[in-house]
Amino acid sequence: MNKFIIVIALIGLTVSCSSDNDLAKINGETISKQQFEDYLEFKRINVRDKKHRDALVDQFLQNVALSAVVSQQSDFDKNKAEAEIEEFRRQMNISRYFEAYLKSAVTDQQIKNYYTANEDKYSEQKVHVAHVLVRLAKGMSETERKAKLTHVNEAYSKLKAGEKFEKIADDYSEDRVSAKKAGDLGWLKKGAVDPKFSEKIFSMKKDEVSEPFETSFGFHIVKLVDDVKVVKKPFEAIKGDIRYQLRQQAKEAELKKLKDTITIKKVNG
């Protein structure tokens, strides 16, 4: 049996229960049931059943007892341990304060009110478009580029002559994924695609077909399938973000208020 096991075994022999409010006595020092409950809350442990609770009690008492034993050893650095405990206590005081403060500072109703007052922030414009794409590549020669431009202009001429957009997309578009769906790109959010492409499609009207224009992807001909619509993000999807934002603002304001009450004068250094 090694030293660690011997210490634990000896500790166990010193544990005995007392009154209804006490959990145990370790070397004469009373450990209350409330201390154990506080430990469970701090660790956020959900007790499953009596067997689980008994095991947790044993673990808790062993740790309490072992801590007491090691703190009395000659090579234990009490000053360093106290410094660490004090720093932990300071951080915990701050954390616990703001945890309680923010529960009342930012309510569900405030979050809802903020969402209602800032609906524009949680709305986005979308438009339904289809396109014909003739790709351009880096390092392409001027001759190759002119051939691409001729290709897209030919497609546009056929559209003006009355050919269906769906057929032109299938015959000419080099975006083969959308080409098989009549060039359909679905609903696109404003600003989510190439800036030139976004600017063009959000300036068009339903069923309008654009002249060929160039973006970083190549030459496009665009058809507006459906007009622009505004889609509002549902409250349930965004309330977590709003809560976080309002809590951060409330915390910063409270922190400033508290710091304004503090006077610090350095004596040395």
pLDDT at 121: 87
CB-based contact 119:232 (threshold 8 Å):
yes
> What one-letter code names the amino acid at 183?
G
Who's near 41: CB < 8 A, 6+ residues apart? none
Reading the block at residue 108, the tokens are 């569900």
Q: What digits encode the pLDDT tens for the residues 160-217?
A: 999 999 999 999 999 999 999 999 999 999 888 899 999 999 999 999 999 999 999 9
Q: What digits encode the pLDDT tens for the residues 45-76?
A: 999 999 999 999 999 999 999 999 999 999 99
Calculate mean pLDDT across residues 86-110: 94
Calculate mean pLDDT across residues 82-92: 95
Percent of the chain scored above 70 by pLDDT?
A: 93
Between CA 133 and CA 174 the distance in angstroms is: 6
Calculate mean pLDDT across residues 237-254: 96
Is the pTM here over 0.75, yes or no? Answer: no
Domain architecture of the chain: domains with CATH:
3-76 (no CATH), 124-232 (3.10.50.40)
Count CA within 13 A, CB hemisphere, residue 249: 11
More confident residue, 85 or 20: 85
